[in-house]
């Protein structure tokens, strides 16, 4: 990262982790001070391997499944070369690390985590979402030891089912994948997720995998047959539950509703309340991430017409705007940064604002002036890819109040990003 300020809204910090297509950074919301995690992906890589639909699906899924035990997606942003997922920051790290450090967990602790995992999985299934890659590495822990399910990159939605009502894409992590997924004859997403949950419960309490072999085909044969052994410290209740979870036959495997009636599982269980502000998964943000909106471009004739010597507005007196009711400035900052700065100033001086994706903004003062509320329209134009012009116009209120606001509040507030004002001398090097 060349700059540690992203889109004028987040301060980027240390690298939390990275994979083939993404890096995840710790960040801080400059406005609220809230800690977040930002997943950064290069568009070029995503386009090259044809992952656009997968990214769209992941965002759609994360908007559908707002739940206390699922990592939350706050927003999707984009630049010309990168896509940014702004997500909930989960400080405690992976549940996998906790198991690796301790070797195995006590039954009470394992049950607590397992209950939270099943709560999240049950909610996902109720929304038609199937994770398909559940494993301790994708389960995060917050400061209070609350499980947060993450990484929905391989998840499936109902539209991916074929006419037989089954999923057919073999995916997931080999040691956690259900036997019916291996056979490639079609599988039910819910029962496949339950198998993975069974493997996770085994790992939490044993400290090792139930199915493991250096030879992948040998391991798959063990999975297909349900060939595993519980360690001696497993209680009889846990053994019986694991047996039902790791049933190789998906038709007789325990379901989530049946699991929630098991006495061992119900012990101390409190079902968390799902968030009420559930978003139904509109994909506008993701579409715009790949087709980044740009400000309107000024061509040669537009630029010439802005020159005082070529201003023909006097020929059309009925349409002309008074000079004192409009102003312009230029900037070498990115259009998104200019828009963020205008938004910041509007909030500072208690102006309401409404912005659009075509880099236009409407501002309105909160106080009643001599001629009503002061209203201003702002629009950003691209002169070159690295040089922009911003036009401000008074659309309501008193002209003197507009001039005062521009000179005393707006200009000083914009001094860090302005190159020139209305053709005046250069103000920023």
Residues 124 and 59 in one domain: no
Residues 144 and 15 in one domain: no
Task: Give the residue carrying structure tokens 């230029």.
Answer: 330
Residues 114 and 240 in one domain: yes
Is residue 406 one of the residues assigned to a domain? yes
Is residue 102 one of the residues assigned to a domain? yes
Is residue 377 one of the residues assigned to a domain? yes
**CA-to-CA distance for 335 and 385, rounded, in angstroms?**
10
- What pLDDT, on the 0 to 100 scale, is given for residue 318? 46
Please list the residues that pair with 28 across neighbouring strands.
11, 35
How many domains does the chain contain in total?
3
Helix then strand then coil, in percent of the chain rounded to 5, is: 35, 25, 40
The yes-or-no answer on residue 133 being catalytic is yes
373: domain range? 296-421
Residues 38 and 145 in one domain: no
Is residue 289 one of the residues assigned to a domain? no
Q: Which region, left, alpha or beta, applies to residue 197 given φ > 0 means left and ψ of -120 to 50 means alpha? A: alpha
CATH code (residue 75): 3.30.200.20
Is residue 282 one of the residues assigned to a domain? no
Task: Give the residue carrying structure tokens 């002169």.
Answer: 383
The CA-CA-CA angle for residues 290, 124, 275, to 5°, reads: 85
Domain boundary among 221, 251, 266: 266
Domain boundary among 41, 65, 89: 89
Residues 67 and 107 in one domain: no
Residues 117 and 248 in one domain: yes
Structure tokens at 88: 């909930």
Q: Do the Cβ atoms of 389 and 328 come closer than 8 Å?
A: yes
How many Cα atoms sit within 13 Å of 17 on the Cβ side?
11
**CA-to-CA distance for 205 and 392, rounded, in angstroms?**
64
**CA-to-CA distance for 230 and 238, rounded, in angstroms?**
9
Of 122, 133, 151, 193, which residue is the catalytic one? 133
Is residue 337 one of the residues assigned to a domain? yes
DSSP per residue, 139-157: EEE-TT--EEE---TT-B-
Domain boundary among 74, 89, 104: 89
Residues 155 and 68 in one domain: no
CATH code (residue 171): 1.10.510.10
- What pLDDT, on the 0 to 100 scale, is given for residue 254? 97
CATH code (residue 416): 3.30.310.80
Task: Give the residue carrying structure tokens 């009502």.
Answer: 165
- What pLDDT, on the 0 to 100 scale, is given for residue 175? 95
Residues 260 and 111 in one domain: yes
Burial of 365 (0-12, 13-18, 19+ CB in 10 A): buried
Residues 99 and 247 in one domain: yes
- What pLDDT, on the 0 to 100 scale, is given for residue 52? 79
Residues 260 and 310 in one domain: no
Mean pLDDT by 10 residues, the chain (429 residues): 77 88 92 94 82 82 90 88 92 88 92 97 95 94 93 88 88 94 92 98 96 93 95 96 97 96 95 64 53 70 59 46 74 85 89 84 88 91 86 90 88 88 53
Is residue 288 one of the residues assigned to a domain? no
**CA-to-CA distance for 194 and 131, rounded, in angstroms?**
10
Structure tokens at 95: 């549940």
Is residue 356 one of the residues assigned to a domain? yes
The CA-CA-CA angle for residues 171, 175, 180, to 5°, reads: 55
Beta strands (DSSP E) in 134-258 are 139-141, 147-149
Residues 307 and 395 in one domain: yes
Q: Enumerate the H helices of 71-230 as residue ranges.
A: 95-102, 107-126, 179-182, 189-206, 216-225
Residues 112 and 239 in one domain: yes
């Amino acid at each position: 990262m060349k700059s540690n300020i992203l889109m004028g809204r987040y301060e980027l910090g240390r690298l939390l982790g990275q994979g083939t297509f993404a890096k995840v950074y710790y960040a801080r919301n400059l406005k609220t001070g809230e800690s977040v995690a930002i997943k950064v992906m290069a568009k070029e890589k995503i386009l090259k391997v044809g992952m656009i639909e997968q990214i769209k699906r992941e965002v759609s899924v994360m908007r559908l499944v707002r739940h206390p035990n699922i990592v939350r997606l706050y927003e999707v942003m984009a630049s010309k070369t990168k896509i940014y997922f702004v997500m909930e920051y989960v400080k405690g790290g992976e549940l996998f690390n906790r198991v690796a450090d301790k070797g195995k967990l006590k039954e009470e602790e394992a049950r607590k985590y397992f209950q939270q995992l099943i709560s999240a999985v049950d909610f996902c299934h109720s929304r038609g979402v199937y994770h398909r890659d559940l494993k301790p590495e994708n389960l995060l822990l917050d400061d209070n030891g609350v499980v947060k399910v993450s990484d929905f990159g391989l998840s499936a939605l109902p539209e991916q089912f074929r006419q037989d009502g089954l999923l057919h894409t073999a995916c997931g992590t080999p040691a956690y994948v259900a036997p019916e997924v291996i056979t490639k004859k079609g599988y039910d997403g819910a029962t496949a997720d339950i198998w993975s949950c069974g493997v996770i419960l085994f790992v939490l309490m044993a400290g090792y995998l139930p199915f493991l072999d250096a030879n992948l085909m040998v391991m798959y044969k063990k999975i297909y047959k349900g060939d595993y052994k519980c360690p001696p410290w497993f209680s009889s209740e846990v053994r019986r539950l694991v047996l039902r979870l790791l049933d190789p036959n998906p038709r007789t495997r325990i379901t989530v509703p049946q699991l929630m009636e098991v006495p061992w599982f119900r012990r101390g269980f409190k079902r968390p309340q799902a968030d009420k502000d559930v978003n139904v998964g509109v994909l506008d943000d993701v579409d715009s991430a790949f087709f980044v909106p740009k400000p309107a471009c000024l061509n040669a004739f537009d630029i010439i017409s802005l020159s005082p010597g070529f201003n023909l507005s006097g020929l059309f007196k009925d349409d002309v705007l008074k000079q004192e009711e409009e102003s312009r400035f230029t900037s070498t900052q990115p259009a998104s940064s200019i828009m963020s700065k205008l938004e910041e100033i509007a909030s500072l001086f208690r102006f309401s604002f409404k912005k659009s994706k075509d880099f236009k903004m409407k501002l309105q003062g909160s106080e009643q002036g001599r001629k009503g509320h002061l209203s201003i329209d702002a629009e950003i134009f691209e002169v070159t890819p690295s040089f922009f012009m911003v036009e401000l116009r008074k659309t309501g209120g008193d002209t003197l109040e507009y001039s005062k606001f521009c000179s005393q509040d707006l200009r000083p507030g914009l001094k860090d990003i302005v190159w020139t004002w209305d053709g005046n001398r250069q103000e920023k090097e």
